[in-house]
Amino acid sequence: MNLRGLYTLFEKEVLRFLKVVVQTLLTPVATALLYLVIFGEVLAEHLEMYPGVGYGAFLVPGLVAMTLIQNAFANSSSSLIQSKMTGNLIFLLVAPISPLEFYLAFVAAAVVRGLMVGAGVWLVALAFVDLPLHSPALVLAFAVLGAAVLGGLGVIAGVWADKFEQLAAFQNFVVLPLSFLSGVFYSVHALPSPWDRLSWLNPFFYMIDGFRYGFLGVSDAPPLLSLGVSLAFLAAVSVVCLRMLAMGYKIRQ
């Protein structure tokens, strides 16, 4: 195992997003706060998703999770597509770095960016909303899981896409709908049939619902079920991603 190679690639991916911190960290935090102000403030007095839990407290974990996973996806996918488009991916491909090391480095960097953005949204949201913290361990577990899954999906999308337009399509037609329809802004119990049942087929729902349980101690799905589904989803994404990298799909001729 080329551990130094793995760490260097991870370090490079982290340095890359830290060089454009306004775009990669501050902008998503600001966007999430806009959601909080618009939805949280407007709907706070009219909605109560769980007994005794205000809408603001319900919304913030969902917003943190959504921002976290979307940024994890953006990190790995945008880095890969840029490297492919500019041609500098060649420097990585000629190095003695295995598909597993490649995958772990990209996913770990995506997790770091996801956690930093998520922490930023959470910390700023604390100024507006009184948010409990039921289980820090579960919050962290679901945060890392969610970011890892989306980091892996980002690798898949970045490897698959030949141009920015295809990557944008993946983001807009897969990641965005699945994250918006995962109970970020509402409890799936509040949805009419069949949307409530369809939501249970959305793996993003379990990542966000389990994350919310870590804060509130209540959720739509049992937390163990969410943990199991999220782990299974991570395993599936990892298998696909590693298979693509091992085949050299679209990156080695």
Partner 1 sequence: MAEAIRVEGLHKRYATVHALRGVDLAVARGEFFGLLGPNGAGKTTLIGILAGLVRPTAGRAAVMGHDVRRRWRQARRALGLVPQELVYDPFFTVREILWLQSGYFGLGRANRAWIEELLEVLNLTAKADANLHDLSGGMKRRVLIAQALVHRPPVVVLDEPTAGVDVELRQALWHFTRRLHAEGHTIVLTTHYLEEAEALCGRIAILHQGMLRALDTKAGLLARHPWRCLCLELDPPGAPLPEAVAALVSEREGGRVKLRLHRLNDQIGAVLDALRTAGLRIRDLRTEEPGLEEVFLELVHEAPAGEAAAAEREAG
Among 22, 34, 94, 127, binds partner 1 (CB under 8 A): 94
Q: Report how far residue 98's alpha carbon sits from residue 253's, in angstroms, rounded to the nearest whole number.
A: 16
Q: Which is nearer to partner 1, 95 or 140 (CB)?
A: 95
Q: Which is nearer to partner 1, 69 or 251 (CB)?
A: 251
Q: Which is nearer to partner 1, 17 or 35 (CB)?
A: 17
Amino acid at the residue 238: S
Q: How near is the Cβ of 155 to partner 1 at its closest, in Å?
A: 17
- Which residues, 112 to 151, sit near partner 1 by CB under 8 A? none
Q: Does the footprint of partner 1 cover residue 95 (CB under 8 A)?
A: yes
CB neighbour list of residue 1: distance below 8 Å, 6 or more residues apart: 98, 101
Q: Does the footprint of partner 1 cover residue 90 (CB under 8 A)?
A: yes
Q: Does the footprint of partner 1 cover residue 243 (CB under 8 A)?
A: no
Q: Does the footprint of partner 1 cover residue 12 (CB under 8 A)?
A: yes
Determine contact, residues 132/217, Cβ cutoff 8 Å. Answer: yes
Q: Does the footprint of partner 1 cover residue 21 (CB under 8 A)?
A: no
Burial 99-114 (b: 16+ CB within 10 A, else e): eebbbbbbbbbbbbbb
Q: Report how far residue 49's alpha carbon sits from residue 59's, in angstroms, rounded to the nearest whole number.
A: 9
Amino acid at the residue 185: F
- Which residues, 47 to 86, sit near partner 1 by CB under 8 A? 83, 86
How buried is residue 163: exposed, middle or buried, by Cβ count under 10 Å (0-12/13-18/19+)? Answer: exposed
Among 52, 87, 192, 194, binds partner 1 (CB under 8 A): 87
Q: Could you give the 3-state DSSP secondary structure of residue 50?
A: strand
Q: Tell me, what DSSP letter sits at residue 162? A: S
The half-sphere exposure of 204 on its side-chain side, counting CA atoms within 13 A, is 24
Q: How near is the Cβ of 72 to partner 1 at its closest, in Å?
A: 19
* Residue ranges in contact with partner 1 by CB under 8 A: 2-5, 7-9, 11-12, 15-16, 19-20, 83, 86-88, 90-98, 248, 252-253
